[in-house]
Amino acid sequence: AQTVTQSQPEMSVQEAETVTLSCTYDTSESDYYLFWYKQPPSRQMILVIRQEAYKQQNATENRFSVNFQKAAKSFSLKISDSQLGDAAMYFCAYRSLRTGTASKLTFGTGTRLQVTL
Amino acid sequence: NAGVTQTPKFRILKIGQSMTLQCTQDMNHNYMYWYRQDPGMGLKLIYYSVGAGITDKGEVPNGYNVSRSTTEDFPLRLELAAPSQTSVYFCASSQRGQGNYNEQFFGPGTRLTVL
């Protein structure tokens, strides 16, 4: 079974600065997806960014980018020019592409990001 | 489209009571999921369904039951509620397509407290 580990329970960043959230995962599979989800106080799960394992190029979405190191099984999220609205819980998630897995997601325990003035 | 809707938003149960959490999606998705999120933790899969009439257990199914009689609805039943079932419950859905990227859409969650 796959596992996802987020070793930083809490992080803090000043507004306009850059912060990196860490995620490692364990799998024996070669094809999979990785995701970062944001959960603000409203509890709504919001997809931030995704990465296909077969792509060497790191995904980017505006101020959000990832550093995907497949051999090291590492998938960190970088938030640039942090804004107050970025304050939330961030979850790393893994999705197997193996037949029969029904696109299920395996989540890490989350990192709470604080953004200060 | 309303997306994924869940009712109720909040509920307090007494130990031993039963209840059904409702989940409906209007995107004609084949796959539906129930997750629970305990305080300070990530989401864990309770049950999932790949289509009407087909359900399967996830990581933490004990104490729960599901059914899927239609594509749209995927209710989660709690029998004999216990304090350990105090959690936030999320329903989600996605389109079928194992090799393709199909985003999982989440409902707003139901906060359940068992006292």
- Segments of chain A assigned E as strands: 3-5, 10-14, 19-21, 24-26, 32-39, 46-52, 60-61, 64-69, 74-79, 88-96, 105-107, 111-116
Is B105 a member of any domain? no
Contacts of A50 in chain B (CB under 8 A): 101
Is B101 a member of any domain? no
Residue contact B99–A107, C-beta within 8 A? no
Question: What are the extents of the domains in chain A?
Answer: 3-112
Is B90 a member of any domain? yes
Residue B98 — very low, low, confident or very high, per pLDDT cuts 50/70/90?
low
Q: What is the pLDDT of residue B9?
A: 95
Is B40 a member of any domain? yes
Supply the CATH number for residue B26's domain. Answer: 2.60.40.10
Report the CATH number of the A3-112 domain. 2.60.40.10
A91, A97, A110 ranked by CB distance to B99: nearest: A97
A48 and chain B: CB distance < 8 Å anywhere? no
Residues with Cβ within 8 Å of B49's Cβ and at least 6 positions away in sequence, in order, are B31, B32, B33, B55, B56, B66, B68, B74
A4, A6, A103 ranked by CB distance to B94: nearest: A103
Is B27 a member of any domain? yes
Domain of B41 in residue numbering reads as 14-95
Total count of domains within chain B: 1
Q: What is the mean pLDDT of residues B43-68?
A: 95
Contacts of A106 in chain B (CB under 8 A): 45
Q: Is the pLDDT of residue B97 over 80?
A: no
Query: pLDDT digits over A46-100, tens only?
Result: 999 999 999 989 999 999 999 999 999 999 999 999 999 999 999 999 998 887 7
Report the Cα A25 to chain-centroid distance in Å. Answer: 11
Whole-angstrom Cα distance, residue A40 to residue B64?
27
Report the range of poorest mean pLDDT among A31-35, A53-57, B100-104. Answer: B100-104
Task: Provide the β-strand partners of residue A14.
Answer: A116
A99 and chain B: CB distance < 8 Å anywhere? yes
